[in-house]
């Protein structure tokens, strides 16, 4: 079984800021059995959390530790939850108010306005193993929606081999295509025009670029692998120095992938060329988001080796590369931004030990923060419209 981010004896000295050349790599596409599409899932309603319609500005978190999603009032805390499936990881919410939640069992569809689960769409891919919890569990991880909301794209972890991207027709609520990608697809992002999907393969040091063709499936050119390894790939599955989350930079469509609070990989998905910029937090980094004005937010989880790095933090990086680093109390996992762009919401779930059941609110101008108990090991997070 792969060991997530385990340090290895050949790790380079932290603090070195010289950009390493990114090695060229062959496409790592493992074979996964993909039998005929399963029948459409039967909608499964869950009891309403309350009789009220969910107001805008409510937060929705994926409870990795409780098989639910939780609705969170930013002032009062949790106001209800809905069962969705085993160990939910990422989630995405469309303009129609439906949330698409990647679980170990399938993708749950939740009407966030009435707080009802509408369906659980099973994965077409076999080999994901039993529906369990834990960091290495098979099933859905990163998930994103196309700009028009017509398709959901979910990265599915297949333990022991390469993962897949499953394409869901959101009107039919069924899987319509399966595309091979890298190992353990932590994150899925979509270009601003919807023409490409980007899948971050944690255990294969890569991003898979999937062109979108008719029906949301991969285009005729097929997927392309871009190796993203500013520290190299030494250590393989045991390395800590692997990509986790990416964002699409609004200004130019570049992919931004932070590493260790030391290096920011800037990937051109059209050419595959990667450049590396300096970062300053000196901490192992996971979740990332971008604000409407182009600021990059990155969650730091703490030093990967005792005495070799700083503690948990939130980095706020401006477009000119300047950074402010705000400390956090304990490891966190993912981050999103309030509708007014002034507050970051950082989930305390974390994929490893040290998580807590809540959200930290960080003022992006001052760095002041407060903690709010909510959810159970919350990972993915979204602000409802």
Which is more confidently placed, 222 or 310?
310
- For the cut 50, the answer to whether the pLDDT of residue 2 exceeds it is no
Mean pLDDT of the chain: 88
Question: What pLDDT does 5 receive?
Answer: 53
- Per residue in 170-216, pLDDT (tens digit) is 999 999 999 999 999 999 999 999 999 999 999 999 999 999 987 77
Token pair recorded at residue 290: 């971008």
- For the cut 50, the answer to whether the pLDDT of residue 9 exceeds it is no
Share above pLDDT 70 across residues of the chain, in percent, rounded to a whole number:
86
Q: Give the ranges where the chain is alpha helix by DSSP (H).
A: none
Q: How confident is the model at residue 30 (pLDDT cuts 50, 70, 90)?
A: very low
Token pair recorded at residue 73: 């009032």
The order of strands in the sheet holding 206-211 is 185-190, 196-201, 206-211, 224-227
Closest to 124 (Cα-Cα) out of 189, 181, 168 = 168
Do the beta carbons of residue 125 and residue 178 sit within 8 Å? yes
Which is more confidently placed, 103 or 48?
103
Q: In the chain, what are the domains?
A: 59-383 (2.130.10.10)
Number of other residues whose CB lies within 10 A of the CB of residue 46: 16
Asked whether the whole model's pTM tops 0.95, one would answer: no
- For the cut 70, the answer to whether the pLDDT of residue 35 exceeds it is no
In whole angstroms, what is the distance from residue 184 CA to residue 83 CA? Answer: 24
- For the cut 50, the answer to whether the pLDDT of residue 39 exceeds it is no
Residue with tokens 């059941």: 357
- For the cut 80, the answer to whether the pLDDT of residue 237 exceeds it is yes
Three-state DSSP state, 382 = strand
- Per residue in 356-372, pLDDT (tens digit) is 999 999 999 999 999 99
Name the β-bridge partners of 326: 314
Q: How confident is the model at residue 53 (pLDDT cuts 50, 70, 90)?
A: confident
Number of other residues whose CB lies within 10 A of the CB of residue 366: 10
Question: What pLDDT does 13 receive?
Answer: 34
Rounded average pLDDT over 221-245:
95
In whole angstroms, what is the distance from residue 292 CA to residue 252 CA? Answer: 13
Any residues with CB less than 8 A from the CB of 366 and at least 6 apart, and which?
Answer: none
- For the cut 80, the answer to whether the pLDDT of residue 43 exceeds it is no
Q: How confident is the model at residue 219 (pLDDT cuts 50, 70, 90)?
A: confident
Question: What pLDDT does 85 receive?
Answer: 98
- For the cut 50, the answer to whether the pLDDT of residue 7 exceeds it is no
- For the cut 70, the answer to whether the pLDDT of residue 36 exceeds it is no
- Per residue in 318-346, pLDDT (tens digit) is 999 999 999 999 999 999 999 999 999 99
C-alpha distances in Å from residue 305, one per residue of 12, 13, 145: 12, 11, 36
Closest to 203 (Cα-Cα) out of 242, 163, 246 = 242
């Amino acid at each position: 079984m792969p060991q997530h981010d385990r340090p290895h004896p050949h790790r380079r000295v932290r603090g070195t800021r010289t950009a390493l050349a990114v090695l060229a790599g062959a496409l790592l596409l493992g074979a996964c059995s993909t039998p005929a599409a399963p029948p459409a899932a039967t909608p499964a309603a869950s009891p309403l959390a309350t009789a009220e319609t969910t107001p805008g500005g409510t937060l929705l978190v994926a409870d990795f530790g409780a098989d639910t999603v939780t609705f969170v009032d930013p002032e009062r805390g949790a106001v209800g939850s809905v069962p969705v499936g085993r160990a939910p990881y990422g989630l995405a919410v469309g303009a129609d108010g439906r949330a698409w939640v990647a679980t170990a069992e399938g993708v749950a569809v939740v009407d966030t306005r009435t707080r009802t689960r509408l369906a659980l769409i099973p994965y077409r891919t076999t080999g994901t193993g039993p529906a369990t919890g834990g960091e290495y569990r098979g099933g859905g991880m990163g998930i994103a929606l196309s700009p028009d909301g017509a398709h959901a794209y979910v990265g599915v972890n297949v333990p022991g081999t390469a993962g897949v991207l499953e394409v869901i027709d959101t009107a039919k609520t069924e899987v319509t295509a399966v595309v091979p990608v890298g190992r353990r697809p932590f994150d899925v992002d979509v270009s601003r025009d919807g023409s490409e999907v980007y899948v971050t393969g944690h255990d294969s040091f890569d991003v898979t670029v999937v062109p979108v063709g008719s029906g949301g499936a991969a285009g005729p050119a097929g997927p392309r692998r871009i190796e993203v390894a500013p520290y190299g790939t030494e250590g393989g599955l045991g390395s800590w120095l692997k990509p986790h989350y990416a964002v699409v930079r609004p200004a130019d469509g570049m992919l931004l992938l932070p590493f260790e609070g030391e290096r920011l990989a800037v990937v051109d998905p059209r050419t595959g060329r990667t450049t590396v910029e300096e970062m300053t937090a000196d901490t192992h980094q996971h979740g990332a988001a971008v604000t409407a004005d182009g600021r990059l937010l990155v969650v730091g989880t703490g030093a990967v080796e005792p005495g070799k790095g700083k503690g948990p933090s939130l980095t706020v990086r401006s477009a000119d590369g300047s950074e402010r680093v705000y400390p956090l109390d304990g490891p966190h996992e993912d981050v999103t931004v309030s509708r007014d762009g002034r507050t970051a919401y950082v989930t305390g779930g974390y994929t490893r030990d040290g998580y807590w059941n809540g959200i930290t609110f960080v003022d992006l101008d001052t760095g002041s923060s407060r903690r709010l108990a909510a959810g159970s090991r919350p990972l993915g997070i979204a602000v409802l419209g």
